[in-house]
Structure 1
Amino acid sequence: MAGRGDPPEGTPEGVPGGEDEYRSVVFDEAFVRAAHLQEFSARERLGEHTQAVRSRPSAWEGRSSSRQAVLLVLLILLAFGTAIYLGVRNPYLPPADLRAEPLRTTVVPLAPQGPVVGGEPARLFDHSPAAEYRTGAAGINLPLTGRTTHFAESQVVTALSIAKDYLVASSLEPGVLSGAT
């Protein structure tokens, strides 16, 4: 038979309100023993007018106050000694007295003073790396073509040819570069 607070079939498992819900706040016995109030008995409380609970000894209570005073004085002396040492010892070098040098400037002309030596406009690219490049439609090479997932090979070639014709029609001609047109 179940207790007065339990249901007749016993406590169901896995429902809210079970033991698992309070597992994170349940303490072990050592914690509970240390947390108990250490109260005087009723007779002890009636005898003297003091606190009803015994106070726990602190970490400093067992030591003598003279040791604490000596430690405090040593700490103060150490702080003053460090401050004096750092004040006397200057970590920075004194600034050197250097004379300032006069400012020097150089003016470079951005436009040529006389006529610019050049060649004929039609032969400007003959002696440059651009001499190897072809012009017009011959200068645009189509990549290797193949069929794709959505387009046949003929459709890919047609699209590349249209793009090449557009580039040829919209590109700069040698006459434009040389100033002839």
Structure 2
Amino acid sequence: MSTVPPSEQPDEQPSISDEQLEAFLREAAEGGGTAAPKEPSARARMVTQRLREQGDAPPPGWRTGPALHETNGRTRRRRRLGAALGVLLVAGLAIVAIRPSILLDQLPGASDDKPEAGASVSAAPVTGGGPTLDAPFRGSPARSWAEGADAIELPAAEAVGDMSKDQVEQALRQTKDFLVASNLDPAVRRGGRPAKALSFLDPKQPDMLPDARRALRSPDSENDPVNLFTRFDPDEVRPVGEVVKVRGRMTYEAGKPGQVRVRADYTFVYPMVKAESGESGADRISRTIVRRGLTMVLSDPARWDVTAGKLLVERYDAAYFNVACENEGGFLHPSFPTVAPTDSPPTGEARDPYDLETPLGEVFDGEACGTVTRS
């Protein structure tokens, strides 16, 4: 038995014309003629009327996205772009983890806890073209970041341990001031001496200030000022504008009695161009990315042999992205995609410099130099 309703059998006619109906009636009146043509069902008439109103076009489908070949085409283009970036942005990255020498009876023991990173950034490629002199952050996740000192927001201060709210607030504010003076001061970024940043450090902390000053005076592989300060060689590169994009976070906790410990983890993005480049150098912009981790301690001078209002450095870590593998002269040396590298080639794993979730100490797992996936 057929499962198709009689009025919708495949061989039925969609409709009868006025001429056919007149001919049938005329032949019937004369007592003969052929069988009457089938009248379509109400459903068939509805379908026919709808098709006529739509100009015989088929009804739209339920898929509202692009056609399959269009989706695949965009995917292929995106993958090719990612591969090209992976080749062009093979630039050096170095990471250091420094624990300054400290008096065991003066500072709390070194903690293995990792500072919390800031909000995550998608690893998906950012579209919109590359950087220009007028838009140096175009094509970078940092384009939407806050800029400058205002991007370093302090958490609300509360008393912790036996340290008052005011003391906690002082520790937070001075940690921020140190970050600003060592990474955002225009004179320091142009290779100047970070005098203001040094002024926040306690001269009573053994070796800290002497080591920092020696690194600035006679930088070498063992004493490199970029481990603490972001500095570029003004004879080599210059900044594209004055804007530095910043993202990260700051937290605090009680230290030993009479101490508060502040942890900071911030990423700074610096657009740079070669010093001799003019307007024609727009296609030679390099974005150097520096991520810094700091653990600073403020101590109560009534209980500790410290200088009142000065910070002790418990730990500092740094990772530099899109720079030469070998730093010289106490400066960071940006890598430019269109220039063949002259130093040792990177050999480590590829990393996303905008990954803010991986603890800084684990970024390269001991690798001294690797590659970046984007800048």
**TM-score, L = length of structure 2:** 0.16
RCO higher in structure (CA 8 A, sep ≥6): 2
TM-score of the two chains, using structure 1 as the length reference: 0.31
Structure ID, larger Rg: 1
The structure in which a higher percent of residues are helix is 1
